[in-house]
Structure 1
């Protein structure tokens, strides 16, 4: 073994410090680590019941992994000595680095480590449940397993909480990033996924340090049949302060990070319980769950409830095909309405063969099935009568080769023993109906463009706002249709000859002309028009007619994801409507069109109640053309067109806010 693999799968462990080091020794003992553990302490003869060495230089051999539980200043010197002796890697536990304003000390630590991998600083450590190796100074809820999922977190408390789950999820690794001064998210994730015993990856992260690298990792994981699911915390605007554009506010709130995760094929969820349930699906079935879902229950109430809960999640239930409809009618009789969701009533309750026939027949027409079943609590009731139905779920999965999910409407109605028994048989018990539906949606296979990578992020730099005349000239040079127009430094110098009324008169030099009173629309002539205070010049344009919809299109540099594209309903009410979608560049025209269909007001573009159909294809082509221009010209910081006027044929950019780096 070499590199970070020695740190994650050590055959020997050294621990430095007192109380924290004793905890690490205790946890390794509980988990049955078979290799040597070498405490290092300058004053104590023993630590945690083991003989202590006075310094790392006195160790019998270079350790594969070291838990450094000493203060931050001593940590730097210890890391330097470990790197020089050829140690495999270290956990730097101490806090008080860059996050506490200790400028330069973290860089000194990285320099001291050289080529030796370190996690942290300000890092809780790593748990390897596969080999019983714990560089972890606290309690946890896991146990030794042979294969399972890996968890990476930027919060030690949250990942400790995840290990306490009683949902039957086998956890193979737990790892914290801390400040990620040297080993970042993509590198650590790749190392964990490289272990053949790891089946999937769950993340709780605050940020992504290398978006192109992480997209490559996600693609490799999918190719290996390993899904990745993520909770992205801190969904505030990551980008630096920019000109006061609509795009800046509408693309905030985590829109860019969610777009990146979606386009990279990484499932994003909101809560720890959905994370765990999604990981269970990935563990058993990989990241390939299809979208056609059926639901079966023996209650009309449950059938109605699952339908109501599924709709907001984005799961629908396709009708039952004729062949299955006929067979189910033969088994269940004329009283039962054959539908999806299916209420199969209780006529077959306790009849294992008939129940299996119903379950397998229904499941055979779909990609996966939800089987709602809440066994009675065994301490007060007798759950024996539920046995045939539970066995029928397992038989349906085996007979069809399709995932069959036993789902408890309340999570406590599957206890840990039952959940683990299901998992041992290759079934995925999902605990809590609402959570189950969200996990199934998250686990559905992603439609990802092969080889997709975001642009590398550019460093922050100063920029200047082009006036609208300059901006329109830039757009026209890219082949974007703009209104015919003339400009002048004063109203008196404007010459409308050659333009056709009605006109739009605009003052130049304002980021938001409407708020500044620098827009006058529907003019037949310039007679009687007064100067606009603060204007640096004037733009007179022909007004666009035949407008079907006003759209917003915004492209801007992102400090993490390279370049983002925001699309949505535009005009002066763009921020009130807040009906936008964000994509991370690169994207193709068909991806833009698919994103537009996610808008709440998409029907207004597609002929709702006899309205004209907007030329969204022209809008998509315009968006891609400008994305290509920004990708090719690194001096362009932001392009916002609000509105783009969509006609039945064609799209015209009537306002432009463009910033260029100085």
Structure 2
């Protein structure tokens, strides 16, 4: 659907227009007046001739023209009728404030609204509307004051109150628009993101989300952002509860819905933040900075600030520049004797208010070959006398002048949010988060579209989806699972099936000792908990004894048979592919304590080729163990990549809910799936 007229209107009709304060109809009209909207406005009211000076007509049918936006400020029961009429009149879209739809269980009203809209754009219901600072269209159900100078940050909020707070924030400078999307009955967050990505004035989309929604649509939307170099900041509230599969596999516990969402956003080059204020400030920082893979230099006049900057850079994943010998030597001649050249750099307060000295220091740092970004940190107290404030300004000016001479823009920020000029980014954490994103390679629209295609083919499932879908299907037996894996090119141990101890011994003799003997049946996922696994069995008598003991376990389901396999030796790795989350994904980690106690796993949206898997492995804390760094034994990392890529492909092709190999045994030459769970 085309959202151009809805998001950038030049003509508006307000259904429920009134002079009565406290109503949505009054709020919208008052906002249009106070913010200087110059387009045409007409009210719709059965008895009023005017409202707040705007003319009124009795019904939409009497408007006399197809307006860009119909604002519906009437109760929920009336909404579908007005939407249907606005669509019939070929208006550009509608905004619905009313609550009382699906959010309170009134599904029928939601269905009625969607049926009336068809492909007609409707923002809401249960939202606060929209504002566009460029057109001065303040179609907002609360008090709205638009910034005098429109900017380039578009904000989307699934929470009405968060949207209100962001619009009212004193740091709202730089806003292009704000959308309170409500229940998303028709227009969804991905629809808005995709539209804003091709809107000329928009350079950053900042979104507050409470639900993942359609993963395929979201991946497609951020792909459009990548194509147009529109940067993305996300605040995702609420960590989803673990899905029903948590009782059947380790994957859900190690890679819940939030981690899958974060993995998708990493692919999109998005910055993830923790609170609403950071949403705006990080967006401002992204506009200030330029994409550059080189390191960041941080300058300040405080040793404490310098230490804090190093810690926050590490937290944010921002790479600090390594200053070269020539730079350090030059700084040695410029800095006071009490200062130590380095990065972060404390130039001390001995050059305070000396614009030229600070400029020379900043110019030398910014000119270092390893420096791509410069941050200057300064916390200016409120209420300073004019002379003192001028000193702070002179110091900042020196930093900006030095950066300009070196051809590098300087990002001004503070350690204490709120203690900075309006031109600066509020908070060092937000500044460094933006720098970290700008250091990474530009996201690939093609890669994101491939993720969208996989999500469309397989379907991601959020925790809410899984709760609504009822009981989880039984997993395949391990024998069936490994047959599918073998056909998909995944290495599995040599083995065979048996129904009694003598048969188990025959299989073991055929494949060679030592062996593993396990119980095998559909839905039997936690065999070790039942004592139904015996490992490293050296001969036939040991196999018979183990088989007799396992078959005597009362808790085993009827029809249980025995799986006998060669015993593999090596390091344990977890490889899993799952549909649990906003998009299907691959989960990788070292086995044992690395995955379960430390949570050292990576999540990679599917599809994932060999190179993408290798990149993910290198992000593991325990990657050095696999690679054999520092003269340790090296394991077959390429074999793990090949196996994991095939597992991901199998999930997409088979549309299984889960494929979990835990463990995969990795030796110096091979990677073999020692245990396997597949849930159709």
CA drift at 1:112: 1.7
In 1, the alpha carbon distance for the partners of 2:641 and 2:552 equals: 35
Q: Which moved more, 1:195-204 or 1:341-350?
A: 341-350
Match of 1:517? 531
What's the counterpart of residue 575 of structure 2? 553
Deviation at 1:447, TM superposition (A): 4.9
Residue 323 of structure 2: aligned partner: 320
Q: Is the 8 A contact 1:186 1:214 kept in 2?
A: yes
CA distances 1:335-378 after superposition (whole Å, capped 9, x unpaired): 54221112223443333223211111101221111212223433
CA distance in 1, matches of 2:132, 2:115: 27
Q: Would you say 1:542 and 2:566 are equivalent positions?
A: yes
2:522 maps to 1:505 = no
- Cα distance in structure 1, aligned partners of 2:228 and 2:405: 25
**Contact map agreement 2:99 2:125 (CA 8 A) in 1:** yes
Selected match of 1:369 from 364, 374, 381: 374
User: Relative to 1, partners in 2 of residues 1:179 and 1:412: Cα closer, same or farther, differing over 3 Å?
Assistant: closer
Aligned to 1:425: none
CA distance in 2, matches of 1:337, 1:248: 48
In the alignment, the residues of structure 1 paired with residue 323 and residue 116 of structure 2 have an alpha-carbon distance, to the nearest angstrom, of 65
Alignment of 1:275-294 (within 5 A): 275-285=279-289, 288-294=291-297
| Among 392, 395, 412, the residue aligned to 2:398 | 392
Give the secondary-structure state (helix, strand or coil) at the position aligned to 2:579. Answer: strand
Alpha-carbon shift at residue 590 of structure 1 (Å): 2.2
Equivalent residue number for residue 632 of structure 2: 611
Question: Which residue of the partner structure matches residue 592 of structure 1?
Answer: 613
Residues 295 and 559 of structure 1, relative CA distance in 2, 3 Å threshold: closer
Q: 1:526 to 1:240 in 2, by over 3 A?
A: closer
More divergent stretch after superposition (24-33 vs 339-348): 339-348
Aligned to 1:205: 209
- Distance in 1 between residues matched to 2:267 and 2:228, nearest whole Å: 18
CA contact (8 A) 1:581 1:595 kept: yes
> Hey, what does 1:631 align to over in structure 2?
652
| Alignment RMSD (CA, Å) | 2.5
Q: CA deviation at 1:482?
A: 1.9
Alpha-carbon displacement from aligned partner over 1:197-256 (angstroms, at most 9, x marks no partner): 222110011234443343333233234332111112233158665771111222214111
- Deviation digits for residues 32-88 of structure 1, max 9, x if unmatched? 011222111123343334333221122232221111011122111111112212222
Q: Where does the alignment leave 5 or more consecutive residues of structure 2 unmatched?
A: 462-468
- Normalising by structure 2, we get a TM-score of 0.89
1:528 to 545, 556, 572: 545
**Contact 1:21 1:47 (C-alpha < 8 Å) held by counterparts:** no
Q: Distance in 2 between matches of 1:355 and 1:66?
A: 55
Distance in 2 of aligned mates of 1:145 and 1:333 = 41
What are the within-5 Å matches in structure 2 for residues 397-408 of structure 1?
Answer: 397-408=403-414
The residue number in structure 1 matching 2:233 is 229
CA contact (8 A) 1:79 1:113 kept: yes
CA distance in 2, matches of 1:449, 1:189: 16
Matched, 1:467 2:467: no
Q: How does 1:455-494 map to 2 (within 5 A)?
A: 455-457=454-456, 458=458, 463-494=473-504
- SS of the residue corresponding to residue 572 of structure 2 reads strand
Q: In structure 2, what is the equivalent of residue 111 of structure 1?
A: 115
SS of the residue corresponding to residue 412 of structure 1 reads: coil
Residue 291 of structure 1 and its aligned partner are, at CA, apart by 4.6
The question of whether the paired residues in 2 share the 8 Å contact of 1:65 and 1:89 is answered with yes
Q: What SS is found at the alignment partner of 1:138?
A: coil
User: Is structure 2 residue 2 aligned with structure 1 residue 16?
Assistant: no
CA offsets per residue over residues 536-569 of structure 1, 9 Å max, x none? 1001222113x1x2111111224631x2111112
Question: 3-state DSSP class of the match of 1:409?
Answer: coil
Call closer, same or farther: CA 1:141–1:401 in 2, change over 3 Å. farther
Instruction: Say which of 189, 192, 198 aligns to 2:196.
Output: 192
Tell me the TM-score normalized by structure 1: 0.91
Alignment check: 8 A CA contact 2:376 2:413 kept: yes
Q: Is the 8 A contact 1:169 1:279 kept in 2?
A: no
User: Distance in 1 between the 2:581 and 2:334 partners?
Assistant: 60
Going from structure 1 to structure 2, the CA distance change for 1:184 and 1:168 (only over 3 Å counts) comes to: closer
Structure 1 residues 323 and 379: alpha-carbon distance in aligned structure 2, compared to 1, 3 A threshold: closer
1:193: Cα distance to partner?
3.2
Q: Does 1:72 align with 2:76?
A: yes
Q: Hey, which of these two has a bigger chunk of helix by percent? A: 2
Give me the whole-angstrom Cα distance separating, in 1, the residues matched to 2:87 and 2:172.
40
Further displaced range: 267-276 or 637-646: 267-276
Q: Counterpart in 2 of 1:337?
A: 340
- Partner residue of 2:41? 37
512-521 vs 214-223, which deviates more? 214-223
Name the structure 2 match of 1:348.
Answer: 351
**Counterpart contact for 1:259–1:583, Cα < 8 Å:** yes
Q: Deviations over 1:480-506 (max 9, x none)?
A: 222222211223432222233222110
Deviation of the 1:527 alpha carbon: 4.0
**Distance in 1 separating the partners of 2:287 and 2:201:** 11
SS at match of 2:545: coil
**Within the alignment, does 1:305 sit opposite 2:327 as a pair?**
no
Deviation at 1:28, TM superposition (A): 0.7
Runs of at least 4 residues of structure 1 off by over 4 A?
A: 237-243, 459-464, 571-574
Q: 2: distance between equivalents of 1:114 and 1:486?
A: 56
Report if the CA contact (8 A) 2:494-2:511 is conserved: yes
Q: Pairwise mapping of residues 52-63 of structure 1 onto structure 2 (< 5 A)?
A: 52-63=56-67
Alignment correspondent of 1:641: 661
Q: State the distance in 1 between where 2:445 and 2:205 align.
A: 20
Confirm or deny that 1:88 pairs with 2:92: yes
CA–CA distance in structure 2, aligned partners of residues 162 and 328 of structure 1: 42
Q: Which residue of 1 aligns with 2:623?
A: 602
Distance 1:238 1:443, change over 3 A: farther
CA-CA distance at 1:571 after TM superposition: 4.3
**Partner Cα separation in structure 2 for residue 209 and residue 598 of structure 1:** 27
2:253 counterpart residue number: 249
Evaluate the alpha carbon distance shift between residue 514 and residue 403 of structure 1 in structure 2; reply closer, same or farther with a 3 A threshold. Answer: farther
For 1:447 and 1:10, locate their aligned partners in 2 and report how far apart those are by CA, in whole Å.
33
1:81-230 equivalences in 2 (<5 Å) = 81-167=85-171, 169-230=173-234
Confirm or deny: 8 A CA contact 1:39 1:52 kept in the other structure.
yes
Alpha carbons 1:553, 1:568 under 8 Å: kept: yes
**Structure-1 residue corresponding to 2:465:** none
Whole-Å Cα distance in 1 between the matches of residues 594 and 315 of structure 2?
Answer: 26
Question: d(CA) in 2 for partners of 1:81 and 1:408?
Answer: 52
The match for 1:5 is: 4
* Distance of 2:476 and 2:630 partners within structure 1: 40
Does the CA-based 8 Å contact 1:278-1:442 persist in structure 2? Answer: no
Q: How many residues are paired up?
A: 643
